[in-house]
């Protein structure tokens, strides 16, 4: 990566970050956390556009580059004067305070999180640290920054807290979809940590006047999603002729949203959302996991006609279920549609086709992110679910 606009900071000992382009008319940046992850990198690309003329303005990206963060997702932005990358932890209060004072952003979009439910079951510690303590550190830093800011900055500033529908718990088959007043009932360590962070954001708005807005979104899919999550895992495994591990009976329901639609919703919330409010975001695409896996297989059968693994759905294996597995999520997105005029542009069918096509066009990206530590995770998560370790899979398909 070209280092000219990339500031690598560890703690506060690194070089001082520079405002990317002082001559630009849009020099007041936004600060994004977790912009090297799946949704964050899609947001960063959408915000900055393919070139400067399509940019919405300068953007500073603070990311710790955990296993889920990938600097390669943003390689196309190397050399862009409107983009600054900062390598660091949201829990580093001194670093965050420094970035706020240095860049004086007009908004903070908070994507950074530990985001994978299965990992939160295997080891919840990092989830509490980043999702709860990290969000707390950000809120305190923003509070101090705004206390010292002029009234115009205080008036304009927004803290957009990117959260999840999992805070609402699990729905029965006939229950109405989650709406903004649905009581919180998180079931996994991940969901509990996100629920806690939502409560902190709410309290900091109510008590200290931090101008925050919370968004709760359903399952995203699309380019740059790490293949530990259902869709990219199924695509990567099917392409490699490996088993497709479906938890339990595969009848759990998720409400799928193409990631670019989520990113557009976040821009709409930033532009017109009301401080102190929550907005639910979802695609209105309820599908069982088995339906989703079969849809992926059908697309691969069509798009890779020469594959030796056709029909790909023959690779499906039912494996031991996720502990505490939520049965159904569904989002009522009528508030954001009504108030902010947002609508999902992709149907599940069009979004899924784009997603599968992206993974087919980017085998090097898959190879890169599925090397090294990824294999240990696959062995750890699937090794006890019915013999689908990477070694067993390789043997079975040798």
Active site residues: 165-166, 190
Over its C-alpha atoms, the chain yields an Rg (Å, rounded) of: 21
Among ligand DAU, ligand NAD, none, the one that 65 touches (CB under a kind-dependent 5 to 8 A) is ligand NAD
The H or E element spanning position 30 is strand 30-33
Partner interacting with residue 348 (select from ligand DAU, ligand NAD, none; CB below 5-8 Å by kind) = none
**What is the smallest separation between the CB atom of 357 and ligand NAD, expressed in angstroms?**
20
Instruction: Establish if 258 lies at the interface with ligand DAU (CB under 6 A).
Output: no
* Contact partner, 245, from ligand DAU, ligand NAD, none, Cβ < 5-8 Å per class: ligand DAU
Strand 286-288 and strand 253-255: the pairing is antiparallel
Residue nearest to ligand DAU (CB): 164
Select from 70, 84, 289, 355 the one that contacts ligand DAU (CB under 6 A): 289
Phi-psi sector, 364: left (phi>0), alpha (psi -120 to 50), beta: alpha
- Does residue 114 belong to the site contacting ligand DAU (CB under 6 A)? no
The first and second tokens of residue 206, run together, are: 């109510």
- Taking residues 322 to 351 in sequence order and writing x for each that binds ligand DAU by CB under 6 A, - otherwise, the string is x------x----------------------
Cβ distance to ligand DAU smaller for residue 80 or 254: 254
With a CB cutoff of 8 Å and minimum separation 6, the contacts of 376 are none
Q: Are 28 and 104 in contact (CB under 8 A)?
A: yes
> HSE on the CB side for 363, CA within 13 Å?
5
CA distances from 73 to 67, 119, 299, 368 (A): 13, 22, 24, 11
Q: Which of 45, 98, 116, 328 binds ligand DAU (CB under 6 A)?
A: 116
Q: Which of 5, 219, 355, 370 is close enough to bind ligand NAD by CB under 6 A?
A: 219
Specify whether the CB–CB gap between 131 and 193 falls below 8 A.
yes
Contact residue for ligand DAU among 82, 92, 165, 198 (CB under 6 A): 165
How many positions of this chain bind ligand DAU (CB under 6 A)? 19
Nearer of residues 78 and 180 to ligand DAU, judged by Cβ: 180
Chain centroid to Cα 317, Å, comes to 27
Token pair recorded at residue 228: 């530990």
Instruction: Give the containing element (helix H, strand E) for 270.
Output: helix 259-272
Measured between alpha carbons, how far is 113 from 67 in angstroms, rounded to an integer? 12
- Among 68, 142, 246, 336, which residue interacts with ligand NAD (rule: CB under 6 A)? 68
- Element (H or E) spanning 290, and its range? helix 289-303
214 is an interface residue for ligand DAU by CB under 6 A = no
Rounded to whole angstroms, the Cα distance separating 165 from 326 reads: 11
- Where do contacts with ligand NAD occur on this chain (CB under 6 A)? 33-34, 36-40, 62-66, 68-69, 89-91, 111-115, 130, 134, 162, 164, 194, 217, 219-220, 226
Contact set with ligand DAU (CB under 6 A): 115-117, 164-166, 218-219, 229-230, 233, 245-247, 252, 254, 289, 322, 329
């Amino acid at each position: 990566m070209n280092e000219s606009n990339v500031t690598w900071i560890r703690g506060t000992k690194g070089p001082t970050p520079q405002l990317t382009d002082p001559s630009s008319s849009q020099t007041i940046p936004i600060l994004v956390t977790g912009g090297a992850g799946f949704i964050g990198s899609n947001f960063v690309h959408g915000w900055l556009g393919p070139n400067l003329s399509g940019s919405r303005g300068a953007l500073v990206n603070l990311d710790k580059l955990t296993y889920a963060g990938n600097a390669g997702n943003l390689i196309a932005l190397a050399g862009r004067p409107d983009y600054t990358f900062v390598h660091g932890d949201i829990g580093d209060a001194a670093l965050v305070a420094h970035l706020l004072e240095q860049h004086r952003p007009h908004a903070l979009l908070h994507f950074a999180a530990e985001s994978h439910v299965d990992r939160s079951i295997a080891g919840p510690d990092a989830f509490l640290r980043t999702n709860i303590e990290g969000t707390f550190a950000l809120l305190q830093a923003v509070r101090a920054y705004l206390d010292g800011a002029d009234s115009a900055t205080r008036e304009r500033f927004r803290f957009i807290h990117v959260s999840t529908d999992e805070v609402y718990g699990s729905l029965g088959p006939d229950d109405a979809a989650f709406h903004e007043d649905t009581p919180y009932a998180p079931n996994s360590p991940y969901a509990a940590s996100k629920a806690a962070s939502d409560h902190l954001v709410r309290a900091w708005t109510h008590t200290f006047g931090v101008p925050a807005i919370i968004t709760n979104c359903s399952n995203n899919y699309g380019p740059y999603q790490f293949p530990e999550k259902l869709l990219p895992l199924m695509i990567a495994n099917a392409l490699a002729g490996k088993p497709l591990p479906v938890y339990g009976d595969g009848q759990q329901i998720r409400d799928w949203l193409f990631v670019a639609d989520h990113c557009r919703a976040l821009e709409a919330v930033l532009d017109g959302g009301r401080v102190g409010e929550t907005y639910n975001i979802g695609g209105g695409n309820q599908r069982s996991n088995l339906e989703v896996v079969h849809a992926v297989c059908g697309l691969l059968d069509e798009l890779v006609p020469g594959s030796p693994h056709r029909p790909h759905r023959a690779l499906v294996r039912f494996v031991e279920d996720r502990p505490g597995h939520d049965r159904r999520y569904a989002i009522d997105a009528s508030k954001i549609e009504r108030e902010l005029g947002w609508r999902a542009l992709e149907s599940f069918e069009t979004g899924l086709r784009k997603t599968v096509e992206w993974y087919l066009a980017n085998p090097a990206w898959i190879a890169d992110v599925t090397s090294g530590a990824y294999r240990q995770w696959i062995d750890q998560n699937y090794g006890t679910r019915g013999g689908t370790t990477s070694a067993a899979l390789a043997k079975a398909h040798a």
